[in-house]
Amino acid sequence: MTIQTVTGPVAAEDVALADGHAHAWIDPPPGVDPSARLELHDFDRIAAELAAFRAAGGSLVVDCQPGGAGRDARRLRQLAEATGLWITATTGFHQQKYYPPDGWLWTASAEDAAIYFAEELTVGTRESAGAIPAATIKVGYEGIIDGQTRILMEAAAEAAHQTGALILFHTERGQNVEALIPFFADRRVPASRLYLCHVDKRPDAGLHRALAQAGVLLGYDTFARPKYDPDNGAWKLIAALVADGLAAHVAICLDMALAEMWTAYGGGPGMAFLPDVILPRLRAEGYPADVIRQLTGGNVARYLARQPGQPTF
């Protein structure tokens, strides 16, 4: 099982500690509305923080900004080379607000978008002139499957079917994630190719259990966000899923899209929160070492490996 990183293929089993939903570079194109501009493109600051994460045991960062919305796979590769971290890039699409008004994807046909996604996964990303492939397909899902979002979801399904790549979803606090499994199953994409992010903002343990049993990967990222009450949300969800034997279906993430979350930008909690706070708490709560490794890297690594054909989970 290999993962397509920006510096080449990596064996999934070699991943020890990962940020399962990360942002290592966002440089929005001109024309994006100022209220939706995420500015994360100070190379030296980002490299310093990623290097510290690497030194603390970090091995992989799953970058979640798709092409046209601020991704630069060349920069991701330079950051990987400078720090020794593995980084994966994503194709696909985010919410429309992250694009300029004339962003071509927002009027593209499903066929054209599918060709673009599949090309970025198998040949390479556009800004790298085909030199650096993406590993995943992002879907910016606001809870409603209609309009151009539906067309682009059809394209994501087609590209996933062709390549076996993992689809990673931005969800709006888990809103209407129930609709995703049947939509993609109808298009020959099994639940084991779906990675639902930000779902711990909807801490319904019964729902999470059902999604995990169906085969999806669940991304939790509220650990350092007190307003979401992680003690009663993410941490209890982990306890519930591990107790039910579903530890293979959760990925722990930081999702530091805002510069103010980076220590190197003068903010916090920083990437160190994963090795310095989350890992010790998992140990203190008594989870076995193999479960901790699954939650903090093993699971996302396994899902990132391409799976053409049938579900294996």
Residues within the interface to Zn ion (CB under 5 A):
64, 255, 257
Beta bridge partners of 92: 138
Report strand pairing: 90-93 vs 58-63.
unpaired
Sequence length of the chain is 313
CB of 222 to Zn ion, least distance (A): 12
CB of 19 to Zn ion, least distance (A): 11
Nearer to Zn ion, 240 or 257 (CB): 257
CB of 94 to Zn ion, least distance (A): 8
Beta bridge partners of 17: 58
Nearer to Zn ion, 170 or 209 (CB): 170
CB of 41 to Zn ion, least distance (A): 15
User: Alpha helix locations (H) across the chain?
Assistant: 43-55, 73-83, 110-122, 147-163, 180-185, 205-214, 234-243, 273, 279-284, 289-293, 299-304
Nearer to Zn ion, 40 or 181 (CB): 40
Nearer to Zn ion, 21 or 208 (CB): 21
What's the rounded Cα separation, in Å, for the pair 255 and 73? 18
Cβ-count burial of 168 within 10 angstroms (0-12 exposed, 13-18 middle, 19+ buried)?
buried
CB of 24 to Zn ion, least distance (A): 11
Tokens of 41: 């493109």
* Chain centre to alpha carbon of residue 170: 8
What's the rounded Cα separation, in Å, for the pair 1 and 122? 16
Nearer to Zn ion, 158 or 255 (CB): 255
What's the rounded Cα separation, in Å, for the pair 292 and 313? 19
CB of 23 to Zn ion, least distance (A): 6
- Give CA angle at 169 (163, 172), nearest 5°: 165
Nearer to Zn ion, 198 or 208 (CB): 198
CB of 123 to Zn ion, least distance (A): 25
Nearer to Zn ion, 49 or 255 (CB): 255
CB of 257 to Zn ion, least distance (A): 5
Nearer to Zn ion, 50 or 247 (CB): 50
Tally DSSP H helices, then E strands, for the chain: 11, 11
What single letter denotes the amino acid at residue 162? Q
What's the rounded Cα separation, in Å, for the pair 178 and 182? 8
- For residue 130, give the 3-state DSSP assignment: coil
